[in-house]
Amino acid sequence: MSEAAEHPLVAEIKQEIADNKILIYGKGTKGFPMCGFTVETIQFFEKYGYDYTVINALENPEKRELLSQMTDWPTLPKVFIGGEFYGDTDILDEMEKKGEVEPLIKKAYGEA
């Protein structure tokens, strides 16, 4: 198991992922995003009309680093749907073009 998996914050991260059907670790919050990519991700999910959570990864640099280690994804935002990591909107935009996003969201909300 990786060094990151043994860190106490890992349990917190895993719980946040489990507790939120759509979770975005970004720069800022839903009400006060602090970078264009986080804004873009919020706008992406707004159009689907499902509840989602944004956690400000800037508040805890150690947690931010652990998230990068756990996901092998160095940048923010980091998007989880139904407990699975999907990268950021660059990835989700491509998935959306193929019609793959809405089924994932519906599955996460028990509608599939």
Q: What CATH code is carried by the domain that includes residue 58?
A: 3.40.30.10
Residue range(s) defining the domain that contains residue 24: 4-108
Q: What is the pLDDT of residues 9-48, one digit of tens each?
A: 999 999 999 999 999 999 999 999 999 999 999 999 999 9
* Residue count (the chain): 112
Beta-strand pair 53-56/22-26: parallel
- In this prediction the pTM is 0.92
Q: How many domains does the chain have?
A: 1
Q: What is the pLDDT of residues 50-93, one digit of tens each?
A: 999 999 999 999 999 999 999 999 999 999 999 999 999 999 99
